[in-house]
Structure 1
Amino acid sequence: MNENNFPILVGVSQYIQRKEATTRLDPLTLMIKTGRNAIESTHRPKIKDFIDAIFMVNINSWSYEDAPALLAKHLHITPKEKVYLSDGGNTPQMLINRAAKDIYEHKLRAVLVIGAEAAYSRLLARKGVVELDWPKREPPAYMEGEIWDGVNDFENKYKFKFPTHTYALFETAVRAASNRSIEGHRIYVGELFQHFSEIAAKNPYAWSQKSYNAEEITTPTLENRKICYPYTKRMCSNMFVDQSAAILMTSESLAKNIEISKENWVYLMGCADLKNVHEITQRPELYASPACRVGAQIALKQAGLDLKDISAFDLYSCFPSIVEIMMNEIGIPESYSRDLTITGGLPYFGGPWSNYSLHAIASTVERIHEKPQSKIMVVANGGYNSKQSFGIYGAQPPSIIFSEINSSEVQNKILNDKLKPPVIKASGTFTIEAYTVIYNRDQMPIEAIVIGKVNPNQRSLAFIRDTPKKLAEILKENLVEKTVKVNYKRNLQCNIIDFD
């Protein structure tokens, strides 16, 4: 038992490069800023001598041959371990969990977990507004973790690779499972994300600091165009941001030895990392996440807490459907009055690709510094409701020993509970489980994507291709549980549903 080796978060930093910035810094330079500031926030510069590892979140907006090494050089630290991870929104929390375990087991003394994106600057450059004086872009010399598309070839053929499409599909499944009407669900989702927007408006690190009401979020306009039914732009993650976050972790014993004030200490009280069935078409339900349900239970058990003990959450919020799925699985009631986001969420705070949840964790630490009695759960999501990582944070150590709870048995159970592989060339009856309509930039419907059952244990996918007027008419009714005819069209090489 390592009584004095509980892992703690002792330094945090966030930085935002605003739209108005005259000099556009690259992601590495943003990380140099937050890395230095995280170290300085401990008020003990000696901590640099003990940083054994840099754990870096994947950078989408630029790439370097060895970003962790470049960062270490600028920060004047000599880590023995450098981790550069493949992408995924779950990875910041997963890296915190990994660092905590390594610290607890005396493998590492202190770890800097860090990430940054500068996608807004890249957007400006593509539009010819600015010229970027950045280092040469080079492919990473190493990358840990699986590199995956998130969907299989069949799902990709039906455009599941685009998160806006897939999470919009989930939304119609969630709505049907909730038994809400189309209009009732629109109102509910608008009010849910209004809460997120209001929190972002007060956050100095948020990309958008304008508060939107429910109608402004869900009503299509020229500024808030339709993306994929039922989503408008303000219901979707905003990836075009320039943001960085850094967190410095160590153990109780080292923090005591170098006299880091206990006011800085925040404990990782409980954690978990779990995956859902990879293939969306083979998941038991489209509106559920067994990984989220079980992961939350594991983290709470490790923390020695009940759900009622959690003061606030930061639920990953790339789209409304994942927030609703997490609420349902964790057991958060719709009437819940506490915060569901600490930052303001990905559409309003900003969605810096894989690094969003590192901002959520940094903001959580700052919240606990202000309110030491708080217990906050962060839930990070990767892929398409594919991978979830959990962290519970507080100013007091957990009531039970920090250890890795072996979740391999329950993980295998989740992955083995799946439907048969989908029918590629479908013909006959088809019961719709979820659907969405894709819009062009003029907000005209292009086509619908549909997922449904061809028999109780097997799904297929299909398109509805018709005139914009006909597609608009289709959206006036709820299609979930509707049984229709589907046929594989050889000339189109895909399954087509014909409502005529």
Structure 2
Amino acid sequence: MATGQKTPIVIAIGESKNRPQKVEDAIEPMQLMLQATLNAVKDAGLAATAEKELQSNIDSVSVVATWTWPYADLPGLLSQKLGIQPQHTIYSEQGGNQPMKLVDEAARRIMKAESNVAVVTGGEALASLSAYKTTKRMPPPGWTSPDAGVKAASPLKISNFGKSIGTLHSIGLPLHVYPLYENAFRAHRGQSIEQNNTESAQLYAEFAKVAEHNHFSWNYGQPAPTAETISTVTKNNRMICFPYPLLMNAYNKINLAGSCILTSTEYAKELGVPENKWIYPLGGAGTQDSDSFWERPNYYSSPSISRSLDACLEISGLTKEQIDVFDFYSCFPIVPKLACQHLGLPSTKSPKPITLLGGLTSFGGAGNNYSMHSLTAMVRELRNGNGQHGLILANGGLLTYQHVVCLSTRPRRDGSAYPDRNPLPPYVTDVLVPSISAQPEGEAVVETYTVEFNRNGAPSKGFIVGRLTRNNHRFVANTSNTRSLEQLSSGTREPIGRTGWVKSDDLGRNSFVFDDPSRL
């Protein structure tokens, strides 16, 4: 290790959960993050004087962008509440990859001696915000006044994405795009629709059991739903977008925050942080696929996931076999399935843990911050002797952004410094993507699809990603008649690979039918 380079370690973790009995007791995201950070300071296991020194020497505050509330300067406000004046303050971009990206970058600054003590934190109060909206008391009393110049961050409206091929056909939300991948992944593996549903339900039943016993889970202590409950469409488990019923979708109405504190081994020794608290980040890597889901190479794999996993393992000096504990992001079943397939792990009944939290359905989908809770759980797991090496996969967007971090009870095996850069480029660009036809016409084949359902359980809109037979160009379309919508949503016959016809109207909207091109 070169002179002046330091070894970064995670020395402390903290969480906070707010389940108020009365809506007026609900607190804002900043307050949740403050509590989590103060809990982390306590977690370092220091005497009172050293604890104060640790807090006062925080010189880097990185905050994961919150969906809940528009702050003018959340890192600055949090720093003020902590009584510190950090030289580095970072407010992340949107994306569930951001917690691990911020941890990776904080470790890098510590290695370079650009920072001495770094806090990475994030939190949401979406449950409280929803409750306040119901009572029509906005802004909530006691919360920081919203900044009029800051737009609410939640990306859950099609209108937020501007005009595109996707929005023209009312598709582009996570609840639409992840099902496109699940359906294509199923067909690629030769699974039946029933087999796929059983697999997803078993995966999420195993995850729910983990969340049932996780003290920081939003559903802690509540009986975990069974695989049969998760797989069966009912009034309380209605189909959202095929093939995912409600219990296979992320649940965001939570009030949770998580924080971690990083420093160098040198400063940890100076403070007197017990070495059984030390967890070593070994390396991180991340990249992203195209922002436009129709510009992806296929829908049964994710180059950004596979490359981020491989690059992080390589830069951390580990093989996949040496990882004892995994935590894969799990907003929908397809994400852990893709990670497991790439690493050669079974997605159900895995011999190694693939979640420490229980997934965004059962643990709670903490906005962009879910993987910060993965890190706090991983640190706890490694401290408790349940493995030597751990790996966290953080995913964001529409299976778009990825960042992976490896952690260990021991420093890097070759004694080298923490990697000084992300080994991957910002975007995956060296993959073949089919030509896109904005206004297709003629015979076509279904590449993948999903169907959106009404609250009454009836299919409302079909979405097709298809290929023109004559030139293999890709297009996005909607089903144009009831019969085609019924065939797409039947859940019995596999639509992928079936032939139909597509046509574009004067506004550029594309319609698809299975049986009779005269119905276009």
Same fold (TM over 0.5): yes
| Runs (5+) with no aligned partner, structure 1 | none
CA distance in 2, matches of 1:437, 1:79: 49
Describe how 1:112-191 pairs up with structure 2 within 5 A. 112-128=119-135, 132-133=140-141, 134-139=143-148, 153-191=164-202
> How far does the alpha carbon of each residue in 1:104-151 deviate from its partner, in whole angstroms, 9 at most, with x for none?
0111111110111000111111211877212211157799xxxx9679
> How far does the alpha carbon of each residue in 1:418-451 deviate from its partner, in whole angstroms, 9 at most, with x for none?
4245211110122111111101111111011010
Does the 8 Å CA contact 1:289/1:329 hold for their aligned counterparts? Answer: no
Given the alignment of the two structures, is residue 466 of structure 1 paired with residue 477 of structure 2, yes or no? no
CA drift at 1:161: 2.3
Amino acid at match of 2:312: A
Amino acid at match of 1:453: R
Identity %: 26
Does the 8 Å CA contact 2:287/2:428 hold for their aligned counterparts? Answer: no
Partner SS, residue 425 of structure 2: helix
CA distance in 1, matches of 2:359, 2:249: 10
Partner SS, residue 64 of structure 1: coil
Partner SS, residue 348 of structure 1: helix
Given the alignment of the two structures, is residue 243 of structure 1 paired with residue 237 of structure 2, yes or no? no
303, 307, 310: which one aligns with 2:323: 310
CA distance in 2, matches of 1:416, 1:140: 38
CA distance in 2, matches of 1:86, 1:64: 14
Describe how 1:66-465 pairs up with structure 2 within 5 A. 66-128=73-135, 132-133=140-141, 134-139=143-148, 153-209=164-220, 210-334=223-347, 336-371=350-385, 373-400=387-414, 401-404=416-419, 411=425, 414-454=428-468, 458-465=473-480
> What residue in structure 1 maps to residue 64 of structure 2?
57
The count of aligned residue pairs is 495
> How far does the alpha carbon of each residue in 1:320-341 deviate from its partner, in whole angstroms, 9 at most, with x for none?
1122122222332346322111
CA drift at 1:160: 2.9
Amino acid at match of 1:256: K
Does the 8 Å CA contact 2:451/2:488 hold for their aligned counterparts? Answer: no
Amino acid at match of 1:443: G
> How far does the alpha carbon of each residue in 1:259-283 deviate from its partner, in whole angstroms, 9 at most, with x for none?
1111110111221111123322121
Distance 1:141 1:192, change over 3 A: closer
Distance 1:20 1:225, change over 3 A: farther
CA distance in 2, matches of 1:413, 1:57: 21
> How far does the alpha carbon of each residue in 1:456-500 deviate from its partner, in whole angstroms, 9 at most, with x for none?
66310111143389526752211111121111133x641111223
> What residue in structure 1 maps to residue 504 of structure 2?
488
CA drift at 1:200: 0.2
CA distance in 2, matches of 1:29, 1:301: 38
Greater shift, 127-136 or 192-201, is seen at 127-136
Given the alignment of the two structures, is residue 28 of structure 1 paired with residue 30 of structure 2, yes or no? yes
Distance 1:142 1:424, change over 3 A: closer
What TM-score, normalized by structure 1, do the two folds share? 0.93
Distance 1:151 1:130, change over 3 A: closer
Distance 1:256 1:152, change over 3 A: farther
> What residue in structure 1 maps to residue 518 of structure 2?
none
Distance 1:282 1:274, change over 3 A: same
CA drift at 1:73: 1.3
Does the 8 Å CA contact 1:66/1:140 hold for their aligned counterparts? Answer: no
Greater shift, 192-201 or 303-312, is seen at 303-312
CA drift at 1:207: 1.0
CA distance in 2, matches of 1:330, 1:32: 37
Distance 1:271 1:152, change over 3 A: farther
CA distance in 1, matches of 2:302, 2:160: 19
Partner SS, residue 428 of structure 2: helix
CA distance in 2, matches of 1:312, 1:88: 23
Amino acid at match of 2:438: I
Partner SS, residue 127 of structure 1: helix
CA distance in 2, matches of 1:150, 1:329: 31
CA distance in 2, matches of 1:448, 1:113: 41
Partner SS, residue 468 of structure 2: strand
CA distance in 2, matches of 1:479, 1:116: 40
